[in-house]
Structure 1
Amino acid sequence: MVYLALIAGLVLLVAGGEGFVRGSVAIAERLGMSSLLIGLTLVGFGTSLPELVTSVQAALDGAPGIAVGNVVGSNIANILLILGITALIYPVLVDKGVLRRDGLVLVVSALAALGIVLIGALGRIAGLVLVAMLIAYVVYSYFADQKAQASPDFEAEVEATGGTQPMPVSILFVIAGLGLTIFGARLLVSSAVEIATAFGVSETIIGLTVVAIGTSLPELVTSVIAAVRRHTDLALGNVLGSNIFNIFLILGTTALIQPIPVPPEIVRLDIWVMLAATALLLVFAYSGRQIVRWEGAAFLVAYLAYVGWLAVGA
């Protein structure tokens, strides 16, 4: 039963996040918000909603390994697993504007996470700083891209989320999506903790692998669809934005709601893997202005090696 609960939790998280994004985008468009602002706020927040609710729930349940491991593991999976699969399907095109805007912010967010991990605790002051950095990032991104507005591809992506729905239906999507996400997070966290206890595996490893991959499913689906349609520049922007939101929004909000210690396993290995993956992504992106198939294969091999190391350690 516990495995069914884990799978059900993941399904509810993905369905809830999708419903929340569809409803929020539809309401925002009816209120006259631009596609650019919708993308920077509602879509970015919505795709990170599963990670956010899961980490907050884990922190409230006294499972810091899942709360922090979920964020670090999701960022690792976003780069090595999701971009790896995407690049194997079709080379990931690098949008210079997106890379220029988000590349530096991605490095800053990764270094901020490193600082918190080395301190050993995720407190409210750190949470406040992270949330403030998120607000600054959104404001900067909005004004930096105000002239260009959104690309035709992005307009189509936002429209595909259901912006033409009637207002009552959109509100229902938001409420139902949020409810499904919260319930799914509770199922996921409780079942993950139970599985970890039964097998003698630390909560941190469960958070870094099963929970992290599960909560990254919206990004995975979005990126694969973008690759099939050969709009892989959207996939790169999706991963960059998601990683930034994961650190600033999720760690920041979790710390404000429930301060938690940082598990020592993350200090020893996982934060450094996240930093190495981030550096490798930027090297590949800047070197050829695209991430080609062999680089995607290198990402996947690195991810399999990382998960294998965790499995051996467990």
Structure 2
Amino acid sequence: MPLDVLYAGLGLIILLLAGDALVKGAVNLSLRLGIPALIVSVTVVAFGTSAPELLISIKAVLDGVPGLALGNVVGANTANILLILGLPALIFGLGVGSDTRRSYVFMFIGTLMFIGLGLAGPYVWWHGLILLAGLGLILVDAARSAQAHRRATADALAAQDDQDSLEVADPDMPIWQIVLFLLLGLIGLPFGADLFVDGAVAIARDVGISETVIGLSFVAIGTTLPELATTVMAALRRHADVAIGNVIGSNMFNLMGIIGVAALVGPIPVDPVILRFDLWVMLAATLALAPFVFLRWPMGRAVGAVFTALYLAYLVSIFA
């Protein structure tokens, strides 16, 4: 037990340091490539911070515990919106920077597709192909958007960047340093999350908690720690593009990429409890984000408190 606590503490420290490095790398990469930080955060940052979910879900299917994989993804997406955005908003307040409406619509469609396939579950190989095809279309659209922005004038691009993040964006930063920041973040985040998850899951299993509940709670929170670390550091740096884009991109990758790949490895049955309750909580959390995206409402401390309280209430409900 003391060793598990030590692992968790060390994991948290690594997560914070790696999250800061990833934010610096992503913002400076967007500046160097001449594209908005939002696009980088929806792709590079989001996929990097979702790496723990991917590894754990594939391993869960191979080990014959697919309920852990599904619970991990559903729980992680709910946590991404209510906790990963709620907690930084509660501490710092969080604005909605660039136009995230298009990315949000893709995330919402992906959520509906995921739920629809779940209702016809279990998730099997052809479900996985459908989900991966949807993710591929989103990536193609992101690439086209990036090309369009690169053709824009330098002045327009400069105006699009957050001026409050000048301490993060350095137009003279050499490319090797940007790559180093990205590598430190992308390697450090899953490593730190793995340390935390190992300790948390070991404690949970000792107590006798079921695999599905472990996936929805301990593993889901543990694997969203990279997103939390990245979002907290982005909020601290006043870079809302990275914070919001990270969550939206991570949710899309979780639903389409992770379950898509995991379903190719083996069938993933849908737990009746997840079907009756948790999928709809995930959908409700997704809808709760809509006003802040479409109406550009800032996520102040009051909103952060509500989101965080809702997530804590959700945790209580799954353990009840």
Q: Distance in 1 between matches of 2:250 and 2:286?
A: 13
Alignment of 1:263 with 2:264, yes or no, is no
**What TM-score do the two structures reach when normalised by structure 1?**
0.79
Q: Which runs of 5+ in 2 are unaligned?
A: 151-156
Q: Distance in 2 between matches of 1:64 and 1:216?
A: 19
* Counterpart AA for 1:198: D
* Counterpart AA for 1:54: I
State which of 56, 63, 86 in structure 1 corresponds to 2:65.
Answer: 63
Tell me the equivalent position of 1:81.
Answer: 83
Query: What displacement does 1:163 show?
Result: 6.8
**1:161-310 to 2 correspondence within 5 Å?**
164-165=175-176, 177=187, 181=190, 195-310=203-318
* Counterpart AA for 1:271: L
Tell me the equivalent position of 2:118.
Answer: 117
Q: Distance in 2 between matches of 1:264 and 1:159?
A: 50
Other structure's SS at 1:65 match: helix
Query: What displacement does 1:258 show?
Result: 2.4
Contact 2:77 2:251 in 1 (8 A): yes
Query: What displacement does 1:196 show?
Result: 4.6
Give the direction of change, closer, same or farther, for the CA distance of 1:297–1:68 in structure 2 (3 Å limit): same
Q: Calculate percent identity across the aligned residue pairs.
A: 40
What is the RMSD of the two structures over their aligned residues, measured on CA atoms? 3.9
Contact 1:13 1:50 in 2 (8 A): no
Contact 1:14 1:50 in 2 (8 A): no
Residue-pair matches, total: 304
* Counterpart AA for 2:256: F
Tell me the equivalent position of 1:148.
Answer: 149
Tell me the equivalent position of 2:154.
Answer: none
**What TM-score do the two structures reach when normalised by structure 2?**
0.77
Contact 1:123 1:260 in 2 (8 A): yes
**1:18-57 to 2 correspondence within 5 Å?**
39-57=41-59
Query: What displacement does 1:159 show?
Result: 7.1
Contact 1:72 1:271 in 2 (8 A): yes
Give the direction of change, closer, same or farther, for the CA distance of 1:139–1:20 in structure 2 (3 Å limit): farther
Give the direction of change, closer, same or farther, for the CA distance of 1:159–1:202 in structure 2 (3 Å limit): farther
Tell me the equivalent position of 2:153.
Answer: none
Other structure's SS at 2:99 match: helix
Q: Distance in 2 between matches of 1:309 and 1:252?
A: 28
Query: What displacement does 1:75 show?
Result: 0.8
Q: Which runs of 5+ in 1 are unaligned?
A: none
Q: Distance in 2 between matches of 1:158 and 1:259?
A: 44
Q: Distance in 2 between matches of 1:12 and 1:250?
A: 26
Q: Distance in 1 between matches of 2:242 and 2:304?
A: 16
Q: What's the CA shift string for 1:84-115, capped at 9, x where partnerless?
A: 1122233322245222x112111111112211
